Amino acid sequence: MKTIIEPFRIKMTEPIHMISRAERIQKLQEAHQNVFLLDAEYCPIDLLTDSGTGAMSTQQWAALMLGDESYAGSTSWKKFEATVKSITGIKHVFPTHQGRAAESLLALTRVKEGDVIPNNSHFDTTRANMLSVGATPLDLLTQRGLDPDDESPFKGNMDIEKLKQCINTYGASRIPFCMITVTNNTGGGQPVSMHNIKTVKQLLEGYGIPLVMDACRFAENAYFIHEREKGYRGKTLLAIAQEMFSYVDAATMSLKKDGLSNIGGFFVCHDDLWAEDFKNALILREGFPTYGGLAGRDLEVTAVGLMEALVYEYQVYRHATVEYLLKKLVARGIPVMKPGGGHAVFLDAARFMDHIPPSQYPGISLVNALYEEGGIRSVELGSVMFGHRDEHGVEHPSPLELVRLAFPRRVYTQSHFDYMIEVIKEVWQKRKSYGGYTIVKQPPLLRHFSCHFEKLSS
């Protein structure tokens, strides 16, 4: 059969309510035109993020009841540690309450002012955590990864030449580690090939620079390697993930993505000194090292979720949802990032709203239009999230203006996707009627979460 069906049945439902277009315009006005400031009850189709928004399986709900809430050395911790070790093969395992806590403690313990941290593309929280300790985060994505029309299979790859140049320019002593993000969320959820991970590791080894993986979507990346990279068809996703982790010295992880959990994260490393420093910082800020800011029940749930994310049928279904939406948009000539990402479809706002310059945030215009027209909450990954305003008030744009429609895991069905297509089509037809925005209030870091916008007259 050609039809790929959801590899699950729905046992519990959560109601969603549609509010009128006039009410949506009113709600967005009250939220200062920033969808992060909207109440979720007014977002019937919530594609803001795939982070922590997934549905748990029966196995996970059952595991929740087994949570051992002992402060130290709980059985839930033992299961969690064993699962993480079985996938990563890495010696020291530390739970954290989510991904950015792992990043923040890594930055605090290993990074100093003046350091440089290369990555294929930093996600916003990694970037901000490195900046917050006075380091410079650098994005060294290949040129292909920056071209929305390029259909290369591994557009998340690190540019090896740029990495070499970076090491030559700054010197290994200023680079405490290099990161690699799988999949590359910032650049359209695009995967990184095994070959690229291996080559990056080989290059770094020559300079004694450790490699740290931002492993949030490691299972989706493993699926892409299985489908697209020569020599991996016969392997399980677990074996592929194990190989990916075999090339890194440490990893940060948000279990809210491929942990199929509503909360959680971890940090893993081989080095005993790194582990000792991390442990001490963890105890001070997150909790004792056998729970690290999580409840025992969370550790149970994520231990099950991590393995479920590596089930091949699940990844086939997940990828099919991305492809379903993507193909229908491409067929209508709507500009998107190609090929489809692992966790989302990314609209190319620069071309979608080509009458709006980057300084007036075409991505925000598109995000707000999708909400006003159809109650879809999406997120801008463009000049608001990755650009910045300098001390002279000049805006520095991001190389890409994307709008991400992130898919919560196991949540929306095909009719929801058909509805999305209808809304996007409507916005596409009326695109010239939407204007740009200006920022009237913003914090110094991570401005997209809380800044206030105002509509510019079109």
- Near ligand F0G by CB under 6 A, which window of 92-100, 147-155, 161-169, 332-340? 92-100
Neighbouring residues of 219: CB distance < 8 A, sequence distance ≥ 6: 237, 241, 258, 306, 309, 310, 315
Kindly tell me the sign of the dihedral angle through the C-alpha atoms of 428, 434, 438, 443.
negative
Q: 440 vs 25, 33, 437, 444, CA distance in Å?
A: 19, 11, 9, 13
Using the rule CB under 6 A, is 57 a contact of ligand F0G? no
Contact with ligand F0G (CB under 6 A): which of 24, 27, 100, 409? 100
What is the contact mask toward ligand F0G in residues 107 to 126, using x (rule: CB under 6 A)? ----------------x-xx
What is the contact mask toward ligand F0G in residues 123 to 162, using x (rule: CB under 6 A)? x-xx------------------------------------
Contact with ligand F0G (CB under 6 A): which of 181, 290, 302, 365? 181
**In angstroms, rounded to a whole number, what is the distance separating the alpha carbons of residues 296 and 3?**
39
Residue with nearest beta carbon to ligand F0G? 99
Using the rule CB under 6 A, is 190 a contact of ligand F0G? no
Q: Between 256 and 447, whose beta carbon lies closer to ligand F0G?
A: 256
What is the contact mask toward ligand F0G in residues 359 to 378, using x (rule: CB under 6 A)? --------------------
Tell me whether strands 344-348 and 402-406 are parallel, antiparallel or unpaired: antiparallel
Contact with ligand F0G (CB under 6 A): which of 265, 358, 363, 382? 265
Q: Give the residue from 305, 318, 338, 336 showing the smallest Cα distance to 417.
A: 318
Using the rule CB under 6 A, is 49 a contact of ligand F0G? yes
- Near ligand F0G by CB under 6 A, which window of 9-17, 93-101, 422-430, 434-442? 93-101
Which helix H or strand E contains 403, and what residues bound it? strand 402-406
Min dist CB 312 to ligand F0G, Å, is: 23
Size of the site for ligand F0G (CB under 6 A): 15
Q: CB under 8 Å, gap of 24 or more: what pairs does 17-22 form?
A: 17/41, 17/44, 18/44, 18/375, 19/44, 19/375, 21/372, 21/373
Q: Environment class of residue 411 by beta-carbon count within 10 Å: exposed (0-12), middle (13-18) or buried (19+)?
A: middle
Phi/psi of residue 76, nearest 5 degrees = -65, -40
What is the contact mask toward ligand F0G in residues 225 to 264, using x (rule: CB under 6 A)? -----------------------------x-x--------
